[in-house]
Amino acid sequence: MDYHKTNDVFWMSLTIVFMLVPAVLIQLTLTFIHRDVGRDRPLVLLLHLLQLGPLIRCFEALVVYFKAGQNEEPYVTLSRKTNLEKGREIELEIGQTERTLATHRNAFKRTAVIQAFLGSTPQLTLQLYANIQEKYTLSVRLALMIITLVSITYGALVCSVLAIQITYDSIKVRLRPAAYLCMVLWRALEITTRVTTLVLFSTALTHWVILVGGLNLLFFFFLPWVEFWVQKGSLAEGVEKNFSKLGTAVVLCMFTLLYACINVFCWSAVELDLAHQELINRKQSWRRLVFYYSGRFLENLILITLWYFFKSDFFEYVCALLVVVQLLIGYCLAVLFMMLFYQFCHPCRSLFKYNVHDCLHCICCRHRPASRRGSMPPSYSTAATMLKEEPLELLDPQNCLPPDERESLA
């Protein structure tokens, strides 16, 4: 209403777009996951058209939950999970009720991610930009910004947990409170510093931020499609049996759009494989994670440096250099908590080949003088590992030496 009264068409249009797009995508996601396209459920489809899909889904889940256990039902399928703590395989009988509730849980998790990165993230960015431009903060707006930040952090947390569950599908995954604490700090710091950097840059170079955001979005949107084209794969079968090839392509485009929006602000924790039925590559390349955070840190450094030199007169009353240092330290802390999570708190860290300590140890021994390299003790850590694709011989400090120095030591 305020935008309409002040005839601010640009901000009013952005607000409407960021409200409608995630709302429509949430309805489509619920319809797709529950596979209602080919089923005779006109009332449910009508409620989705009226943007009441989440309400009817919550009602259905509650009805199924309260009816559970009243009638004895045969199991539908058997699920075998490996318990890493006990070292044995567990066989679980899954009934129709539990399967239906699991479908509802998966649907709500994915809609939370959509709402977080297609709705809450743009709203947080706009609200922070409005605060800086108006040079004061309303209590209501501050409360909304805190709520949206919690929503985005929760969405990123769901992404990380889903990535672990998909990658280690045959393992019973249990996350400890310390793991959740590390992930919350990691994601909150990463998202906060990223949004703040983009907003500050937009206050100095308003039109250039559109180019930066657009290039980021296009890069992550077309990256899975380029990999799909290089591999000469075919469109994933079984995405939805009632969809044609055009419908499957549209669904995959929406999926890659969500993937791109997540990666613009934080690491998505998954790699897309459009040729695979599950659309997720379980054998993740940890090199991509290193490249992502290295490139994102460099981009944030460039953006915040440009803001420092082209900032407006309003920031003359603020210690701009301190703001730059705080943002860089905040992003470094986010990376630190991520490394702590993979090193000590990852539920499947015992399955990794090498850990953060081993990788850092090998990197450090590459830069040390040759006189000290030969006396270095071997790695002693047995905790979580970051990189899977490096050869195991790299863990030997002598193998980090150049070939000539290795022969002289022999």
What is the chain's pLDDT, residue by residue, as a tens digit (410 residues)?
Answer: 566 666 667 667 777 887 888 888 888 777 776 666 666 677 777 777 777 777 888 888 888 878 776 666 665 565 666 666 666 666 666 667 777 787 888 888 888 888 888 888 988 998 888 888 877 778 888 898 999 999 999 999 998 988 888 888 777 778 889 999 999 999 999 999 999 999 999 888 888 988 999 999 999 999 989 988 888 777 665 555 556 677 777 778 888 888 999 999 999 888 888 877 777 877 766 788 889 999 999 999 999 999 999 887 767 777 888 999 999 999 999 999 999 998 888 887 776 666 666 666 666 666 555 444 444 444 434 444 444 444 444 334 444 444 444 444 44
Is the distance from CB of 300 to CB of 259 less than 8 angstroms? no
Task: Show the tokens assigned to 146.
Answer: 């805190």
Beta bridge mates, 94 = 77
Question: First-to-last CA distance in the chain?
Answer: 77
Is the distance from CB of 211 to CB of 353 less than 8 angstroms? no
- Whole-prediction pTM: 0.78
> What is the Cα–Cα distance from 263 to 279, expressed in whole angstroms?
16
Taking alpha carbons only, the member of 104, 84, 108, 88 closest to residue 96 is 104
Q: Cα angle at 183 between 384 and 163, to 5 degrees?
A: 70
* Domain residue ranges in the chain: 8-347
Is the distance from CB of 163 to CB of 270 less than 8 angstroms? yes
% of the chain beyond a pLDDT of 90? 23
User: Residue 5 has what pLDDT?
Assistant: 66
